[in-house]
Amino acid sequence: MTIKDLIGCLQAELLTGSADTQVCGCYAGDLLSDVLASAKPDVLWITIQVHRNVVSVASMKDISTVLITRGRKLDSQTIAEAEQSGVTVLSTPLSSYEAAGKLWETGLR
């Protein structure tokens, strides 16, 4: 599935990266070590964390897309780092729970 197909239902804003980014599956979590341990490559990662370590963890695990929830935004330096690492970042006003529900409904498993 591409990000393009998900942006609408998440009311999301594309902070950096391409709407053509592919995601296969999803992982939700705010604990970085948990994501490092369990997330699969090329998933969409739902988190409320906006610290620059989010980008480090995402690129380390080859996570293609990060979805920041509750309308939080990354600072410009972190966005620049995400862009450099090829990580797509979205921001949604929804909570992590709501976002996960919407994504589940689209068939992203």
Partner 1 sequence: MNNPTVKDKASNAADKRRVTLAQLLVYELRVRDAMHKDPVTAQPSDSLRAIQHLMKKHRISGVPITENGRLLGVISIEDIINALDKGYINDPCDKWMTRDPVTLRDHYTLVRAVAEFDRHGFGRFPVLDACEQLTGIITRGDISNALVHHLEARAEQAVAHEAVLVAERQADEKAHRVVLRTPIKSGDFESAGKVSQRMRETLRQRGIDPEARRRAAIVAYEAETNIIIHSIGGELRVVIEPERVVIDAMDQGPGIERLDLAMQEGWSTAGPLARQLGFGAGMGLPNMKKSADHFEVRTELGIGTHLHAEIVLKKAELNPGTTAS
Both tokens assigned to 105 = 């409904």
23 burial type by CB count under 10 A (0-12 exposed, 13-18 middle, 19+ buried): buried
At 109, the amino acid letter reads R
Which 58-87 positions form the footprint of partner 1 (CB under 8 A)? 59-62
30 touching partner 1, by CB under 8 A: yes
- Min dist. Cβ of residue 95 to partner 1 (A): 17
The sheet that has 65-68: what strands, in order across it?
Answer: 13-16, 88-91, 65-68, 44-47, 26-28
In this chain, which of 18, 27, 52, 106 binds partner 1, going by CB under 8 A?
52
- Min dist. Cβ of residue 66 to partner 1 (A): 12
Which residue, 97 or 104, is less far from partner 1 as judged by CB? 97
Q: Which stretch binds partner 1 (CB under 8 A): 3-11, 18-26, 55-63, 90-98?
A: 55-63
Which residue, 24 or 37, is less far from partner 1 as judged by CB? 37
Angle between helices 76-85 and 53-60 (to 10 degrees): 10
Residue length of the chain: 109
Residues that bind partner 1 (CB under 8 A): 30-34, 36-37, 41, 47, 49, 51-54, 56-57, 59-62
